[in-house]
């Protein structure tokens, strides 16, 4: 059983997944915040690998990606950071296909395995084009996580249910990442559609920015993914106290809902 699967293996437990951009606002901040998130109740941490054209991301993560690139963050540096953090919490790299392809699929996956990375999320890699990377990640014991959107047709849902490993990432909105004031009205029906055919844990991300929203998502999903709001807190409070407080608030909301 992979470390990602183990994060969902407690009856009634809703997984809390945090996203941070590697190297933003600094490498030191990443090395500090990830163990703190784990201590504050996060079950999995997604580490973003910055890319110049982050098409699935909103303003907050685009800014963080640009800042990380300005800081000289490369995939190689992200791997070195992951190696230092992987013992504290299960890690997933979230990036785009271009940096992985440029690094070399086999070489990148081998480096991920050596660094202790547990999974990959690549928003611009559809399952129809993922066979080669799927085969490599399986050999390296890395979970390749696919995404579904509310607009995904039944055929795509079935395909992702067959191929995604670790969990399935459900994009809550037909849009980009970013904190939002309310959740979409059709979220429950979307999760229900996927659950009819998928056996993997279902995790919802994009737009979750409050404990109450996390509580609402936890009523229908197996995991809650929060990113943009955490990055905003990291920008305004270098001590990371606000990040830790928010993570604990999210954890409490999920546990109360269990």
Tell me how far CA of residue 100 lies from CA of 56, 60, 79, 112, 251, in angstroms. Answer: 16, 23, 12, 11, 32
Q: Of the residues 57, 118, 143, 222, which is catalytic?
A: 57
Nearest to 89 by CA among 7, 173, 176, 183: 7
Q: Which residues contact 189 (CB under 8 A, 6 or more apart)?
A: none
Q: Which two tokens stand for residue 239?
A: 């001590």
202 membership: H or E segment, kind and range:
strand 202-205
Cα 134 to Cα 140: distance, rounded to the nearest angstrom: 10
Tokens standing for residue 195 = 């659950």
Residue 132 is a catalytic residue? no
Backbone angles phi, psi at 143, to 5 degrees: -85, 125
Say if CB 194 and CB 202 are below 8 A apart: yes
Question: Is 128 annotated as catalytic?
Answer: no
Residues with catalytic function: 46, 57
């Amino acid at each position: 059983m992979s470390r990602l699967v183990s994060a969902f293996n407690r009856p009634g437990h809703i997984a809390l997944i945090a996203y941070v951009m590697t190297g933003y606002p600094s490498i030191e901040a990443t090395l500090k915040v990830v163990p703190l998130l784990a201590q504050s109740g996060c079950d999995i941490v997604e580490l973003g690998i910055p890319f110049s054209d982050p098409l699935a991301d909103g303003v907050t993560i685009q800014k963080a990606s640009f800042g990380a690139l300005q800081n000289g963050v490369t995939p190689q540096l992200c791997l070195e950071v992951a190696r230092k953090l992987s013992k504290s919490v299960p890690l997933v790299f979230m990036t785009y296909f271009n940096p992985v392809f440029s690094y070399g699929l086999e070489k990148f996956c081998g480096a991920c395995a050596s660094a202790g990375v547990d999974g990959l999320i690549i928003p611009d890699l559809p399952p129809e084009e993922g066979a080669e990377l799927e085969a490599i990640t399986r050999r390296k014991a890395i979970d390749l996580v696919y995404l579904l959107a509310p607009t995904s047709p039944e055929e795509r849902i079935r395909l992702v249910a067959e191929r995604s490993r670790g969990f399935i990432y459900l994009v809550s909105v037909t849009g980009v990442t970013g904190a939002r004031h309310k959740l979409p009205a059709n979220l429950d029906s979307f999760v229900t559609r996927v659950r009819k055919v998928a056996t993997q844990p279902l995790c919802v991300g994009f737009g979750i920015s409050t404990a109450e929203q996390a509580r609402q998502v936890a009523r229908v999903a197996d995991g809650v993914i929060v990113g943009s709001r955490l990055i905003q807190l990291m920008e305004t409070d270098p001590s990371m106290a606000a990040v830790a407080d928010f993570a604990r608030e999210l954890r409490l909301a999920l546990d109360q809902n269990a």
